[in-house]
Amino acid sequence: MNCDLLVVGAGIVGLAHAWAGARRGWRVVVVERDAACIGASIRNFGFVTVTGQQRGAHWRRARRSRELWAELAPQAGLRIEHAGLLVAARHEASEAILEAFLATEMGEGCERLDAAAALARQPGLRAEGLRGGLYSPHELRVESREAIPRIAAWLAERHGVEFRFGESVLEAEAPHVRTSRASYRAERVAVCSGAELHGLFAERWTPHALSLCQLQMLRVKPPAGFRLNAALMADLSLVRYEGYAALPQARPLLERLSAERHDALAHGIHLIVVQSADGSLVVGDSHHYGPVLPPFASEAVDRLILDELHRQLALPSLEIVERWTGVYPVSAEVPCLVEAPDPRTRLVMVTGGTGASTAFGLAEEVLADW
């Protein structure tokens, strides 16, 4: 079988490259080793995050990806669950970070809120200790476990992309690709295999000292009628997301949280809350690192995540309806990697858990540079 572009991996990074190729009129084949996409791309918040991404190219990449999500969603029949982001601030040091952030180019379109405005923006915020916050209009939220298979189906239906699920790529020496089921001739090959660090082209990843990050997440049922008007973050996010954390004003907050919230920081916990169509809340998350990670979730970590949720929202009762873990590759140096082992082949990896937020923009860059 011949194609213009063969994509290895049907997660969000692979789908982004398939769409970018289809938009150029290329014949695209996507080969995915599993019978369906079950990795990090469906285990996340479905949260297209712009505000807080690493300043510079990655932030611009997220802005472009958000534009592309807004273009794709109505065409593919995807529901936007809600839009925007509210960052709740409960420390004086947090307010200094938000002021500094708004003074940068990344603050364009964002709004500083006092406590009353934050409560008006999101009824149900816990009023005690609330100093205010930041509102960003840029973010979008989709249901990732529904969006990923829907995008694949839309690419097949509308753009003629051929998907080969349950098929492992054994060798890729472009233009020749051999899988467990077939052989292909591809003018270009994009390897987007996510957290698989020891498979195809493993030797190209070795110099980057990559590791894995495992996160824990929950789905909870809030009281009937509770509505989240935008995604919610809080103080812990300000010392984790690089767009805030790299600002000099972040140091005092980190020092205070290190003393007061050592338990949360030790488990890499910061709060993100988003809402689904059925009213349930997706809540997370934690971050643990290593070359290999056990598949066992910790009840103590889940409790810390829920404690942070209760710090931010005055919800009298919650029912946990789902728990899960996810794994993605991480680099201590860069938010994404693109390697070119030969002129026809690109290895593409998002290395900071921001695939949903940046993959569409990254794929455009990769194809433009080919």
Q: Which whole number is the average pLDDT over 200-227?
A: 96
Evaluate the CA torsion angle 39, 44, 50, 51 in order and state its sign: negative
User: Of 287, 239, 199, 269, which is closest to residue 89 (Cα–Cα)?
Assistant: 239
User: Of 67, 201, 202, which is closest to residue 140 (Cα–Cα)?
Assistant: 67
Position 93 scores a pLDDT of: 97
Q: Which whole number is the average pLDDT over 248-267?
A: 97
Q: 282 has which bridge partners?
A: 219, 274
Position 255 scores a pLDDT of: 97
Position 8 scores a pLDDT of: 98
From residue 25, alpha-carbon distances to 4, 271, 352 in Å are: 9, 41, 31
Helices marked H in the chain:
12-23, 57-76, 92-102, 115-121, 144-159, 202-205, 235-238, 242-245, 250-260, 262-266, 299-312, 355-369
Q: Is 98 left (phi over 0), alpha (psi -120 to 50) or beta?
A: alpha
Quickly state the pLDDT bin for 278 (edges 50, 70, 90).
very high
Q: Which residue has the tokens 């923009």?
A: 361
Least confident range from 39-43, 91-95, 211-215, 247-251: namely 39-43
CA contacts within 13 A on the Cβ side of 322: 10
Q: What is the pLDDT of residues 170-208, one digit of tens each?
A: 999 999 999 999 999 999 999 999 999 999 999 999 999
Position 138 scores a pLDDT of: 98
Instruction: Provide the 8-state DSSP code for 246.
Output: T
Quickly state the pLDDT bin for 242 (edges 50, 70, 90).
very high
Percent of the chain with pLDDT over 90: 96
Q: By CB neighbour count within 10 A (0-12 exposed, 13-18 middle, 19+ buried), where does 242 fall?
A: middle
Residues 6+ apart with CB under 8 A from 50: 59, 62, 63, 66, 136, 138, 139, 357
Position 370 scores a pLDDT of: 87
Q: What is the pLDDT of residues 284-311, one digit of tens each?
A: 999 999 999 999 999 999 999 999 999 9
Position 57 scores a pLDDT of: 97
Position 40 scores a pLDDT of: 86
Residue 317 has pLDDT above 90, yes or no: no
Q: What is the pLDDT of residues 61-87, one digit of tens each?
A: 999 999 999 999 999 999 999 999 999
What is the distance of C-alpha 323 from the center of its chain? Answer: 18
Q: Which whole number is the average pLDDT over 137-166?
A: 97
Q: What is the pLDDT of residues 88-136, one digit of tens each?
A: 999 999 999 999 999 999 999 999 999 999 999 999 999 999 999 999 9
Residue 168 has pLDDT above 90, yes or no: yes
Position 316 scores a pLDDT of: 87
Q: Which amino acid is at 199?
A: G
